[in-house]
């Protein structure tokens, strides 16, 4: 049985796995760096010093203000999906990104608008630090 590779212009071919932030210290470093608010989430971003880690990394968080565990998990699933769709194209290697969910808005905001908001937020944080 042979497996076919996706054509270069199909979404399956350009989506790369994201390196997920897991250490609290990485989240705290991102919190002290640049930020860009969006209607449904807050983006925190920082450029890592050379040699600290490889590639683009992303983290997700939702406080209890977002709701119970079901609501927080739903919000984080949506944040993970927009990051999976947008960051391989608009993110930069050597950067850490943290997406923070907002109460009621992250789970209900229009999904296409959330993707556009993430692109605008990335442009903002990348433009602030050159």
Residue numbers of the domain that contains 91 = 18-128
Residue 69 lies in a domain: yes
Tokens representing 27 are 């989240």
Number of domains in the chain: 1
- Residue 15: both structure tokens together: 């989506």
**Phi/psi at 43 (nearest 5 deg)?**
-105, 130
Mean pLDDT value of segment 33-58: 90
Mean pLDDT, residues 70-95 taken together = 93
- Tell me if 38 is assigned to some domain: yes
Per-residue model confidence (pLDDT) at position 104:
87
Determine the pLDDT at residue 54.
Answer: 79
Percent of the chain's residues with pLDDT above 70:
85
Mean per-residue pLDDT for 7-21? 58
CATH number at residue 39: 3.30.230.10
DSSP string, the chain: ---PPPPTTSHHHH--PPEEP--HHHHHHHHTSEEEE-SSEEEEEEEPPTTS--S-EEEEE--GGG-SHHHHHHHHHHHHHHHHHHHHHH--TTEEEEEEE-TTHHHHS-HHHHHHHHHHHHHHHHHH--
Domain-located, residue 101 = yes
Inform me whether the pLDDT recorded for 101 exceeds 90. yes
pLDDT above 80 for 3: no
Q: Decide if 3 is inside a domain.
A: no
Q: Which residue has the higher pLDDT, 50 or 18?
A: 50
Residue 37 within any structural domain of the chain? yes
Q: pLDDT: is 10 or 110 the higher one? A: 110
Average pLDDT score, the chain: 85
Report whether pLDDT(52) > 90. no
Residue at 5 is within a domain: no
């Amino acid at each position: 049985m042979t497996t076919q590779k996706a054509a270069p212009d199909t979404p399956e071919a350009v989506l790369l796995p994201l390196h997920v932030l897991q250490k609290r210290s990485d989240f705290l470093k991102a919190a002290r760096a640049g930020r860009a608010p969006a209607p449904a989430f807050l983006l925190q971003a920082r450029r890592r010093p050379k040699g600290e880690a490889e590639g683009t990394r992303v983290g997700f968080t939702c406080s209890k203000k977002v709701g119970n565990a079901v609501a927080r998990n739903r919000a984080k699933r949506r944040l993970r999906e927009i990051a999976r769709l947008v960051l391989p194209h608009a993110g930069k290697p050597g950067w850490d990104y943290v997406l923070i969910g907002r109460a009621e808005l992250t789970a209900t905001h229009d999904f296409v608008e959330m993707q556009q908001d993430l692109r605008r937020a990335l442009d903002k944080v990348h433009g602030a630090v050159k």
